[in-house]
Chain A
Amino acid sequence: MRHWWKALAIILLLYTLIAGLLIPVPKQVILYESIRNLYFHVPMWFTMIFLFFMSVINSVKNLSSNNLTHDTKAKELVNAGIVFGVLGIITGSIWAKYTWGAWWVNDVKLNGSAITMLIYLAYVVLRGSLEDEQKRARISAVYNIFAFVLLLVFIGILPRVTDSLHPGNGGNPGFNNYDLDDNMKLVFYPAVLGWILLGWWIASIRIRISNLSQKLEA
């Protein structure tokens, strides 16, 4: 049963969907039922960060071993991560419209995540512009490390030191302080794990396709 984690992903996602819509949530003005977006919007970002983190690990491995299989993994993990980042931005934009009043507000975390997406798109462009395999692997690995550090700054640090509309950032108390009650934790943590496993599944398929096409080209 080497596919057990895929089955776990399916079970967790189904659970997230059903329990996420049915289990009672804290009654909050402005948010109302939209608080349930927490189970879907936030895990998109967690999954993206997880995939980018796995990617940077592979980039470091590539730099220390010069083994191109790590480079393939790093590339496809970023590709899959970008999809989740885009989903995070779109779902966040819809949520923002109906709680903060606009599709896009000048919030540090929003602008930070948009910049992060551009940084990672630049990674894809950078790879496309380099012909030589070895050179491409090394240069993009170095860039990937730089990109991940910027991600930590833009999503992890800056929103916490300035004012942000997002909970847990700036002067804004986090969901886990009083909003995220035990009921919500019961759904939120499995949701995060489920979405991360799904992201990993999609990335692994991309890696395998990439490996096959390289084999066919060789």
Chain B
Amino acid sequence: MKYLNLFTLLLVSIAVKAESVQMAETMRSEGKIYVVIAVLAIILLGLIVYLITIDKKLGKLEKEINN
């Protein structure tokens, strides 16, 4: 029973903490916006690398067919 009370108290304190979080501010002050930037940058770079390989493959094919 004692432990249950303690556990409830813990849950409540977490919930209270969560409510007081200011999204955009926190993302900056805790630097988490950089996580989003990292994810987006990797997706963008991945797609660009993919585009470059397609471009190169096509270049090879053009050389083969045109000769």
A212 neighbours in B (Cβ, 8 Å): 58, 61-62, 65
Interface size of B as a range: 10 to 19
Chain A residue with Cβ nearest B24: A33
Identify the stretch in B2-10, B13-21, B40-48 within 8 Å (CB) of chain A at 4 or more residues.
B40-48
Given contacts A13-B48, A17-B41, A33-B24, contact A22 B33 (CB under 8 A): yes
Q: Does A161 contact B (CB under 8 A)?
A: no
B54 touches A22 (CB 8 A): no
Classify the interface of chain A: helix, strand, loop or mixed.
helix
Q: Does A209 contact B (CB under 8 A)?
A: yes
Distance in Å: Cβ of B62 to nearest Cβ of chain A: 6
The 8 A CB mask of A181-218 against B (1 = contact, 0 = none) is: 00000000000000000000110010011001001100
A contact set with B: CB distance below 8 Å: 6, 10, 13-14, 17-18, 21-22, 32-33, 201-202, 205, 208-209, 212, 215-216
B contact set with A: CB distance below 8 Å: 24, 33, 36-37, 40-41, 44-45, 48, 51-52, 54-55, 58, 61-62, 65-66
